[in-house]
Amino acid sequence: MEKLKIGVIFGGMSTEHDVSIVSGSSVLNNLNGEKYEILPIYIDINGFYYKYIGNIKELAKLHVGDGIENIEKIENPITYLKKCDVIFPVLHGLYGEDGTIQGLLELLKIKYVGCNVLASSVAMDKAYAKIIFDKAGLKQAKYVYIYKKNNKDYEYIDKEFNVETLDINNISKKISNILKMPVFVKPSNSGSSVGIKKANNENELKSAIEYAGEYDKKIVIEEEIKGREVECAVLGNRDVIASCVGEIKSAENFYTFDAKYNNAESKTIIPAEIDKEISDEIRTSAIKAFKAIDGKGLSRVDFFIGNDGKVYINEINTMPGFTQISMYPKLFEAEGLEYSQLLDKLIELAYVNE
Ligand SMILES: Nc1ncnc2c1ncn2[C@@H]1O[C@H](COP(=O)(O)OP(=O)(O)O)[C@@H](O)[C@H]1O
Ligand SMILES: [Mg+2]
């Protein structure tokens, strides 16, 4: 029997390019070579496509930030992609997790792992994900959403999309009156904590808004939830299962880029030591959030358990980190699903039309 051709795309044009290389290399190393013909496809930061022609095992040695060697340019990516039966876009962030590559694959009529265009783009855009979470009745931090209009002005956008244009001083003042400090300021389209700052007062808020504005015109500002940070993995198309809950113990003040990838002191605890009742609530909410964005295949849903004992949703990631030590595969490993079996399941789900 001919083997299924699986194209694994990694790298990509986002700030999470380096993380994607490590995620992609784990996926490549765990795909069952007896079942699949594996085509590793690397996208560089400028959007050019390459075949990876080195030994896949070598890729597994890479750490976040290492460059990639042994690549050969693909002159016609469309023809090359068309060779694949299924594509696994192991891309994080913009141009990968946001519906754009999914749109390309839809146009090419190629099956792919994970969420479709709509779910990917809604989940990627924190402002819109929050609107959907509100609609689904999922509790979350109190937030506001602003838009950087130009170098001087910002738009404050209220819950009914009424717009008020204000300069940095006035918008910061307005937000300080609405939200309780400290707040988290986030580029709406961000990932791996890039562009995110915590602000303790109005002055810090101003600079955090300006900083976030360097990454995205849309900016979300939300109240801090003091408590624990937990994550739950979901898998499925219409029949969705949720994994156990895992806890993040960040080595830093919050879960920054360095805390995620460069600080060995950051720990994950699987399963989290929490009451069954809370764990059940998180698992149910994770599936609900996934359904609410019209998810497919997989997602990792992140929550806080506040010191008030309540569960707050933070975000949903449609292409979560996939390194050997990443939460998503580890949560399912704890359920008895080995990494390579998980990949088989994801590929199978890419095929199912229901
Ligand atoms: N409202 C909040 N309360 C407390 N911590 C937060 C809040 N929002 C974000 N954080 C911290 O910042 C990190 C990154 O924020 P997040 O929204 O998850 O962005 P990203 O998509 O970049 O992962 C979180 O993992 C958490 O540690
Ligand atoms: Mg996050």
Nearest ligand, CA of residue 306? 1
Q: What is the pLDDT of residue 251?
A: 84
Reading the block at residue 144, the tokens are: 């506001």
Q: What is the pLDDT of residue 353?
A: 65
Residue nearest to atom 15 of ligand 1 (CA): 193
> Cβ distance 166 to 178 under 8 Å?
no
Nearest ligand, CA of residue 130? 1
CATH of domain 123-138+226-351: 3.30.470.20
Q: How many Å lie between the centroid of ligand 1 and the Cα of residue 34?
A: 40
Q: What is the pLDDT of residue 7?
A: 98
Reading the block at residue 289, the tokens are: 């959030």
Q: What is the pLDDT of residue 253?
A: 85
Residue 213 per-residue DSSP state: T
Handedness of CA 159, 160, 161, 163 (dihedral sign): negative
Nearest ligand, CA of residue 16? 1
Residues of the chain whose pLDDT is less than 70? 353-354
pLDDT tens for residues 226-259?
Answer: 999 999 999 999 999 999 999 999 888 888 888 8
Nearest ligand, CA of residue 229? 1
Q: Do domains 4-112 and 123-138+226-351 have the same CATH topology?
A: no
The residues with which 69 forms a beta bridge, in sequence order, are none
Q: How many Å lie between the centroid of ligand 1 and the Cα of residue 81?
A: 35
* 192 CA: nearest ligand 1 atom: 22
Name all residues whose Cβ lies below 6 A of ligand 1.
Answer: 141, 184, 186, 190-193, 196, 222, 224-225, 229, 250, 254-255, 302, 314-315
Q: CA 294, CA 110: separation in Å to the nearest integer?
A: 20
* 225 CA: nearest ligand 1 atom: 3
For the domain made up of 143-223, give the CATH fold: Dna Ligase; domain 1 (3.30.1490)
Q: pTM value?
A: 0.96
* 302 CA: nearest ligand 1 atom: 18
Domain ranges of the chain: 4-112, 123-138+226-351, 143-223
Q: What is the pLDDT of residue 305?
A: 98
Of residues 63, 95, 118, the one with CA closest to residue 292:
118
> Cβ distance 124 to 97 under 8 Å?
yes
- Top-level CATH class of 4-112? alpha beta
Q: Where are the alpha helices (DSSP H) in the chain?
A: 17-30, 56-59, 77-82, 100-108, 117-124, 126-135, 168-178, 202-212, 257-261, 276-292, 327-333, 339-351
* 222 CA: nearest ligand 1 atom: 1
> Cβ distance 50 to 61 under 8 Å?
no
Residue nearest to atom 8 of ligand 1 (CA): 184
